[in-house]
Amino acid sequence: MRHQPPPDTARMLMVGAGSLAPFLIRAHMSQRPITDVQIWNHRPERAEALAAELRRDGLPVTATQDLEAAVRQADLVSCATLSQEAIVRGEWLKAGVHLDLVGAFNLAMREVDDAALQRSQIYVDTQAARSEGGDVALALQSGAIAEEDVRGDLFGLCAAAPERDPLAITLFKSVGASLEDLAAATLVWRSLSKTA
């Protein structure tokens, strides 16, 4: 979350209002000066309920039903859905936006279209995303993107920390890995150890 979204990210769009959404919003807000969060969900009442819950906690969150307009305005688009077809279109993406794709974890699912991938600098959490995660894997299988279009994995991204072109569209596809869970647990444990 530190290496890809622009340092001045202010507007976030959360696509999906499921169990991961509040954690993704809080995680991104802990790393960037986000002042405006919109939530879109295919069931608008879920987006409204989550937005209200997060507002009670003091977060600047509203629900939206206009996905296209919200994507066009966002500095950061985080997707955590079980969608079986692309819902975010590449033509909607503005220069400098970052896409964080956490859903679509198998080959029957998709969150973004080929155009979004073709316009992006693509990174994946693990090499498994090339064959398992719907978005990247399906685009590779169809030839919409080439193997070399995937610039690297999470380890390489963190080790190299490449300088970010402020106009580049970046994309991070996560399919999940036990190493990520271990790293998160270690971070929480260290944080708790310091306060004890």
Residues 42-73 have pLDDT tens digits of: 999 999 999 999 999 999 999 999 999 999 99
How do residues 83-129 score in pLDDT, each as one tens digit?
Answer: 999 999 999 999 999 999 999 999 999 999 999 999 999 999 988 88
Asked if the model's pLDDT at residue 178 lies above 50, the reply is no
For residue 4, tell me if it sits in a domain.
no
Residue 185 banded pLDDT, cuts 50, 70, 90: low
Q: Which of 12, 71, 67 is nearest to 44 (CA)?
A: 67
Q: What is the pLDDT of residue 8?
A: 74
Unique residue bearing structure tokens 């220069």: 95
Nearest-angstrom CA–CA distance, 171 and 43: 25
For residue 49, tell me if it sits in a domain.
yes
Q: What is the pLDDT of residue 176?
A: 64
- Segments forming the whole domain that contains residue 50: 11-195
For residue 6, tell me if it sits in a domain.
no
Residue 3 banded pLDDT, cuts 50, 70, 90: very low
For residue 23, tell me if it sits in a domain.
yes
For residue 104, tell me if it sits in a domain.
yes
Q: Which of 11, 81, 70 is nearest to 42 (CA)?
A: 81
Q: Which of 85, 38, 86 is nearest to 64 (CA)?
A: 38
Q: Which residue stretches of the chain are H helix?
A: 21-31, 44-56, 67-73, 114-118, 134-142, 154-160, 178-195
- pTM of the predicted protein model: 0.86
For residue 5, tell me if it sits in a domain.
no
Tally of domains within the chain? 1
For residue 70, tell me if it sits in a domain.
yes
Share of the chain above pLDDT 70, in %: 85
Sheet with 61-63, side-by-side order of all strands? 61-63, 36-40, 11-15, 76-79, 98-101, 169-173, 120-124, 150-153
How do residues 140-173 score in pLDDT, each as one tens digit?
Answer: 999 999 999 999 888 777 766 667 788 899 999 9
Residue 186 banded pLDDT, cuts 50, 70, 90: low
Are 101 and 174 in contact, with CB atoms under 8 Å apart?
A: yes
For residue 1, tell me if it sits in a domain.
no
Which domain CATH number covers 138?
3.40.50.720
Q: Which of 83, 112, 87 is nearest to 171 (CA)?
A: 112
Q: What 3-state DSSP class applies to 135? A: helix
Q: What is the pLDDT of residue 92?
A: 98
